[in-house]
């Protein structure tokens, strides 16, 4: 209360500084990151030359769940996102904690995957370093930006979004020029050679492509820092998804037209392979730098999301209150930021890019399925202010689709399920420890 008297914000307050345009850029920046720059080759390995097909299917399916988030963030514009919706729908502290922990871990695993990708083919254009060294140094830089404040972090995001969008525009222009000049093999974009059959091949490719379309989950956790969340979030969510889908389809078509499937599949920097064979000259080192910044943007946005989610949980009393402390000058949740980066360091030291990305998708698909159910259950809890309302069939179908993509039918490696299950078990153990400690402090357990 002393800070309030002095005119400074109280610890539980975040600043509403994010406008509609910046929010849209945040969504676009999160989507146009590591996914398209790093996973095009892996998607090609699932379906052959028709890389665009899984991205198109992933966009349609992601839009179903986006309608649920658009409705819920308008009703409850708070920082906790999916955890808040689960709490209001079910009122079960354990379920709320597990959803919050799962979303937090998905953000950290995604940032960790981006950090590992930072040390791959793109970085090799400049310097050869052990991947772990580059990844950890990269995480340290991301943490400093996050600690600087949400305004500073968003400004960095805006710059990086413009840079990564420019890199993808370069690929699109290369594709247009190739078509004009008659270069490449456009027919390859229609070649469909799935490794596990047509249906399973598309499912497997879609599950991978889904990683590149997860930005709306991150943006929801900035609801408490948006100026007009009810009006701005639906536009930002759907606008960002549509923009990303158009760019992704053009990039996927260009990549498969100019580079054979085997080369794309084996490269950790598939879009760099496109630049190197293009008839329209563009400096490979410059494009590698753009790709590194794009991957960095993904990590920054995910670490912002994860730290804000931990802050939200602490404010709701789900985790120890120490994780909800806000720096008095920068107004950033500094203890939550340090906690999430500590988890990321462990993951970066023990995982690889593909496994961490697939783990991210699996964790979020489970959360998405539950959020789609929550939006229907919470129709019984009307609010006085106006907000977006999703057609009921869309979240219902979205829940079914998410469970399908999370199933073993996609051909996902068993180790991904083991890693995800391990993280969930760790979360359950943390909840139990916090529960017992809280009861002990209140005198409800024997001393």
pLDDT tens-digit map of 77-94: 876 678 789 989 998 888
pLDDT at residue 3, as a whole number: 29
CA distances from 274 to 123, 167, 209, 271, 288 (A): 16, 12, 19, 5, 12
Is it the case that residue 308 has pLDDT exceeding 70?
yes
Dump pLDDT digits (tens) for 179-202. 888 888 888 888 877 766 667 778
Which residue ranges make up each domain of the chain?
17-382+389-439
The sign one gets for the Cα dihedral 72, 75, 77, 81 is negative
Q: CA-CA distance, 248 to 387, in Å (whole number)?
A: 30
Statement: 17-382+389-439 belongs to CATH 1.10.3300.10: no
pLDDT at residue 443, as a whole number: 57
Kindly report the pTM of this predicted structure.
Answer: 0.80
Is it the case that residue 64 has pLDDT exceeding 50?
yes
**CB atoms inside a 10 Å sphere around CB 153:** 21
Q: CA-CA distance, 165 to 246, in Å (whole number)?
A: 12
pLDDT at residue 400, as a whole number: 95
CA 245 to chain centre: 15
* Mean pLDDT on 4-22: 54
Q: How far apart are the first and last CA of the chain?
A: 33
Q: CA-CA distance, 342 to 321, in Å (whole number)?
A: 18
Report the range of poorest mean pLDDT among 4-8, 36-40, 105-109, 237-241: 4-8
Q: Name the range with the highest mean pLDDT among 107-116, 193-202, 281-290, 395-404.
A: 395-404
Q: CA-CA distance, 241 to 138, in Å (whole number)?
A: 27
């Amino acid at each position: 209360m002393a800070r309030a008297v002095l005119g400074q914000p109280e610890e539980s307050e975040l600043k509403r500084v994010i406008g509609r345009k910046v929010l849209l850029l945040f969504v676009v920046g999160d989507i146009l990151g590591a996914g398209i720059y790093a996973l095009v080759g892996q998607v090609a390995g699932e379906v052959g030359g028709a890389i665009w097909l899984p991205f198109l299917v992933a966009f349609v399916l992601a839009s179903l769940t986006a309608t649920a988030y658009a409705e819920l963030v308008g009703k409850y514009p708070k920082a906790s996102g999916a955890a808040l919706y689960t709490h209001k729908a079910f009122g079960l502290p354990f379920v709320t904690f597990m959803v919050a922990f799962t979303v937090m871990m998905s953000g950290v695993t995604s940032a960790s995957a981006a950090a590992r990708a930072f040390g791959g083919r793109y970085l090799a254009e400049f310097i050869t370093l052990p991947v772990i060294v580059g990844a950890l140094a990269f995480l340290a830089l991301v943490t400093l930006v996050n600690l600087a404040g949400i305004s500073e972090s968003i400004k960095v995001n805006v710059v990086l979004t413009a840079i990564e969008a420019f890199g993808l525009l370069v690929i699109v222009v290369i594709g247009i020029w190739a078509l004009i000049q008659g270069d490449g093999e456009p027919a390859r974009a229609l070649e469909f050679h799935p490794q596990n059959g047509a249906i399973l091949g598309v499912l497997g490719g879609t599950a991978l492509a889904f990683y590149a379309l997860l930005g709306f989950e991150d943006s929801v956790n900035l609801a408490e820092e948006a100026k007009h969340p009810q009006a701005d979030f639906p536009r930002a969510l759907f606008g960002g998804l549509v923009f990303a889908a158009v760019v992704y389809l053009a990039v996927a078509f260009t990549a498969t037209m100019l580079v054979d499937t085997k080369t794309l599949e084996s490269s950790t920097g598939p879009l760099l392979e496109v630049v190197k064979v293009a008839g329209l000259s563009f400096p490979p080192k410059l494009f590698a730098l753009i790709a590194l910044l794009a991957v960095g943007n993904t990590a920054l946005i995910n670490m912002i999301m994860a730290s804000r989610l931990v802050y939200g949980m602490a404010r709701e009393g789900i985790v120890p209150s120490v994780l909800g402390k806000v720096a008095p000058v920068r107004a950033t949740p500094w203890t939550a930021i340090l906690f999430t980066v500590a988890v990321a360091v462990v993951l970066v030291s023990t995982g690889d890019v593909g496994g961490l990305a697939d783990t991210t998708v699996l964790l979020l698909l489970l959360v998405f399925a539950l959020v789609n159910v929550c939006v229907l259950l919470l129709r019984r809890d009307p609010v006085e202010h106006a907000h977006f309302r999703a057609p009921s069939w869309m979240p219902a179908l979205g829940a079914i689709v998410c469970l399908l993509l999370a199933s073993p039918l996609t051909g996902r490696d068993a180790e991904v399920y083991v890693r995800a299950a391990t993280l969930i078990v760790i979360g359950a153990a943390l909840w139990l420890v916090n529960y017992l400690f809280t009861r002990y402090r209140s005198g409800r357990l024997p001393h």
